[in-house]
Amino acid sequence: MVITGYGDGPAVVGEELVGRAGFWGCHLLGLCAEGACDERAEPAWFGGDGADADALAEVLFDPERWPVFRVPVEGAAPGGGVAVVYRNLDGDGGVEYRRTGGVTGAVTGAVTEGATGAATGGGTGDVRLSWGELVAVADGPGGGGDGVSDRDERFLLLLPCLRGTWEEAVARERVVAALVAVGAPEDTVERAAGHLLGHLERRAVHEPGWKSPLSGR
């Protein structure tokens, strides 16, 4: 895959990793690491266990292969949508969320923020989604072709892009349902959803110049 702005970074298609045990512990646990919490989130809250997450982390954060997860958006040109890029640079790693252009696999836009390591969960890039936009991207039929097709997987992949405000009860219900659908244990899923939304709320401030994959801004 050709990733504009990443030089010769060894980007590879990553969608096959989404269904592996431990994936959501790797992808979402970092979001819960921001700030102080009374209770520390555990990988098992998101499905799999710590050993699964550790094993998959070896793949996700491999500096020789940067997994890219493509999320198609309805109405976009072929290959258009959002790409979740694990930018595994030595000493400058991070997870970035990029708008994609009309050429399959090509990610448009330069890096717009300082790197935030995947282990600390912030994520960088040029995608900011309101609650309505996040739901629309997750639930839409997509643009066809390659990429993540499952609505719950798309929702959770892009959840770190959420900004703005949302109705707490509605958001919690949706996050819980998505986590259960991807294998999170029902006895801890409420705690997992609470951690995710709690950390997102601390980041939920209006940011002028949001670039939405729906509006094209």
Contact 93, 26 (CB under 8 A): no
**Structural contact between residues 139 and 151, judged by C-beta atoms closer than 8 angstroms:** yes
Which pLDDT value is given to residue 183? 94
DSSP 166-190: --HHHHHHHHHHHHHHTT--TTTHH
Nearest to 69, CA basis, from 6, 23, 29: 23
Beta strands in 56-147 (DSSP E): 66-72, 81-87, 94-100, 124-125
| Mean of the per-residue pLDDT values of the chain | 78
CB 81 within 8 A of CB 90: no
Pairing of strands 94-100, 124-125: parallel
Judged by DSSP in three states, 105 sits in: coil
pLDDT in tens, 123-160: 556 688 899 999 999 998 765 568 899 999 999 999 99
Regions of the chain short of the pLDDT cut 70: 1-8, 33-38, 76-79, 101-126, 142-145, 203-217
pLDDT of res. 110: 31
CB 61 within 8 A of CB 87: no
Through-space distance between the first and last CA atoms of the chain, rounded to whole angstroms: 25
pTM: 0.82
